[in-house]
């Protein structure tokens, strides 16, 4: 029996190289060995976009196409939409009694995000919603609805798994052994730097290369990438370690990487030539993804069917769990005895 694994992604924008190298590559390995539930967390995306639901709706299709184009095989993975599984919402309500507000506020992930909101909007009371503070509870529902045994996470998400484990323990203590305590599957999730040299690639930072970028966009973005500022002339020796062009040559595994490094250091390579080579390599790297993207864009009915099939499979499992949960909580009412 394959172990069950669950992970999710919020549909808040197209996938970029940060997602690809930070998560998708790991998913491609996991899909071979696990019973893999991959959730497109549209309901959770509403915690930050409740007043712009159209953004979430648009991104659901886009991100599904990106995920499939990146190589996720819908015959190996239950690719599903969170809002298609009402049982998750039910569990969220049930679990909300098992965690205190104080505990949620102590969750380091929530704490950090509240501090960020406070910095942006000033008054915490006016900017932090009940849904936002409660999202670890909804995540516990996501995980337990499918009896997730292993949850691939980075170090920064460990508090969310611990919160889920606490909820599970409390539920089992009060109502009897029902739910599985998930284990974190610590995966190396490298943080990919942005074209501007920032430590993180992100949509809001405007420094990302998207899987959906066309050739012209790739050209323009790479031509504007940050290089060694001390290299003024073509034959100036430079330091590739502080150059984002070199960073991306390495990231996409340019087989000429040693030549790039040596020529940069000894001043026999100009930045324009180096960028042009990266543009070519980046387009080669993205080409198979682009091909799949254009297939799925032309066959959007198939994309819808894939999500429907995955959601149906996921719901079957979630229904079993909720049935047992309700029995244990004595709210099943199959009969009045």
Sign of CA dihedral 265, 267, 271, 276: negative
Q: Which helix (H) or strand (E) is 182 found in, with range?
A: none
Nearer to ligand SF4, 156 or 262 (CB): 262
| Per-residue DSSP letter, 177 | S
Least distance to ligand SF4, CB of residue 226, Å: 9
- Ramachandran quadrant class, 54 (left: phi over 0; alpha: psi -120 to 50; beta: rest): alpha
- Cβ-based nearer residue to ligand SF4, 269 or 328: 269
In the bound complex, what is the minimum distance in angstroms from residue 19's beta carbon to ligand SF4? Answer: 25
- Give phi and psi for 30, each to the nearest 5: -65, -35
CB 5 within 8 A of CB 35: yes
| Least Å from the CB of residue 252 to ligand SF4 | 14
Which of 108/229 has CB closer to ligand SF4? 229
Give yes or no for a contact between 71 and 24, defined as CB atoms under 8 angstroms apart: yes
Our CB check for ligand SF4 shows the closer of 71 and 267 to be 267
Instruction: Give the list of residues 6+ apart from residue 219 with CB closer than 8 angstroms, or none.
Output: 279
Q: State in angstroms the smallest separation of the CB of 80 from ligand SF4.
A: 43
For residue 153, report the phi and psi dihedrals to the nearest 5 degrees. Answer: -140, 160
Which residues, at least 6 apart from 202, have a Cβ–Cβ distance to it below 8 Å? 18, 194, 208
Catalog residues that contact ligand SF4 under the rule CB under 6 A: 227-228, 231, 238, 240, 243, 245-246, 260, 264, 269, 271, 274-275
- Whichever of 220 and 305 has its CB closer to ligand SF4, that residue is 220
The minimum distance between CB 283 and ligand SF4, in angstroms, equals 17
Cβ closest to ligand SF4, residue 12 vs residue 239: 239
- Kindly tell me which of 179 and 222 has the beta carbon lying closer to ligand SF4: 222
Minimum Å gap between C-beta 197 and ligand SF4 is 11
Torsion (CA) 47, 48, 54, 59 in degrees, nearest 10: -100
Do residues 195 and 246 touch, judged by C-beta distance below 8 A?
no
Show Cβ contacts of residue 259 under 8 Å, excluding neighbours closer than 6 positions: none
If you ran DSSP here, which 8-state letter would residue 82 be given? G
Q: For 231-260, give the DSSP string.
A: --STTS---GGG-HHHHHHHHTT-TTHHHH
Cβ distance to ligand SF4 smaller for residue 129 or 273: 273
Shortest reach from residue 256's CB to ligand SF4, in Å: 12
Shortest Cβ distance from residue 221 to ligand SF4 (Å)?
14
């Amino acid at each position: 029996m394959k172990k069950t694994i669950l992970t999710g992604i919020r549909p808040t924008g197209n996938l970029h190289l940060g997602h690809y190298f930070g998560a998708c590559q790991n998913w491609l390995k996991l899909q071979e060995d696990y019973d893999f539930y991959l959730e497109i967390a549209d309901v959770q995306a509403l915690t930050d976009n409740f007043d712009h639901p159209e953004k979430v709706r648009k991104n659901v299709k886009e991100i599904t196409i990106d995920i499939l184009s990146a190589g996720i095989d819908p015959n190996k993975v239950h690719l599903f939409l969170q809002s298609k599984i009402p049982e998750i919402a039910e569990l969220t309500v049930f679990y909300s009694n098992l965690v205190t507000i104080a505990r949620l506020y102590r969750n380091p992930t929530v704490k950090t995000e509240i501090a960020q909101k406070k910095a942006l909007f000033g008054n915490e009371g006016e900017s932090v919603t009940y849904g936002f503070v409660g999202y670890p509870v909804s995540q516990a529902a996501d995980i337990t609805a499918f009896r997730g045994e292993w949850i691939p996470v980075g170090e920064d998400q460990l508090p969310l798994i611990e919160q889920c484990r606490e909820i599970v323990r409390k539920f089992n203590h009060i109502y009897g052994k029902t739910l599985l305590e998930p284990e974190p599957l610590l995966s190396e999730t490298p943080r990919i730097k942005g074209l501007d040299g920032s430590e993180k690639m992100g949509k809001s930072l405007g420094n990302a290369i998207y899987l959906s970028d066309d050739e012209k966009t790739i050209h323009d973005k790479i031509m504007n990438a940050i290089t060694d500022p001390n290299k003024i002339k073509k034959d100036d020796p430079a330091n590739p370690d502080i150059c984002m062009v070199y960073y991306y040559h390495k990231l996409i595994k340019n087989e000429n990487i040693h030549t790039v490094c040596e020529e940069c250091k000894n001043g026999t390579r100009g930045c324009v030539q180096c960028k042009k080579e990266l543009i070519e390599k980046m387009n080669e790297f993205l080409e198979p993804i682009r091909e799949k993207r254009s297939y799925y864009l032309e066959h959007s009915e198939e994309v819808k069917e894939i999500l429907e099939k995955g959601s149906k499979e996921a719901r079957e499992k979630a229904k079993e769990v909720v049935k047992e949960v309700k029995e244990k909580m004595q709210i099943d009412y199959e009969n009045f005895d």
